[in-house]
Amino acid sequence: MTGNPGRWPRIDQDGGIEDVTLLILEWLGEQGVNAMIRVDAERVADNAPAWTFAASGGPLEHGIRADGRTVQQCMSTALSQLREAGLSVPF
């Protein structure tokens, strides 16, 4: 970690989406979708939504972008958008 106390990850015992994020990315790749998740250190420092998910290609007619303050928030929004776009993500 960065050595900043208080920046240790907090695990949401009820959510669990953090646990399957890499599986979701792998599944999307198998569907021909280019996808990534990233964190922006400048936005962390500014206390802005620092996590970004982006996906395009394959069966997606348009690209998708979702931002969030946490991985869970970001990926929850991303899954909702992927399902609206017609992808039945099995997670």
Which domain range does residue 58 map to?
38-91
What is the per-residue pLDDT for 1? 40
Q: Identify the DSSP state of 48.
A: S
The answer as to whether 12 is a domain residue is no
Between CA 74 and CA 83, with CA 80 as vertex, the angle to 5 degrees is 135
Residue 32 lies in a domain: no
- Residue 56 CA to chain centroid, in angstroms? 14
Q: Is residue 67 part of a domain?
A: yes
Is 30 part of a structural domain of the chain?
no
Q: What is the pLDDT of residues 29-52, one digit of tens each?
A: 999 999 999 999 999 999 999 999
* Total count of domains within the chain: 1
Q: Is residue 11 part of a domain?
A: no
Residue-level pLDDT at 8: 42
- The pTM (predicted TM-score) of the whole model is 0.79
Q: Tell me the C-alpha distance between 82 and 60, whole Å.
A: 8
Residue 1 within a domain: no
Is residue 59 in a domain? yes
Asked whether residue 10 carries a pLDDT value surpassing 60, the answer given is no
18 φ, ψ to 5°? -60, -35
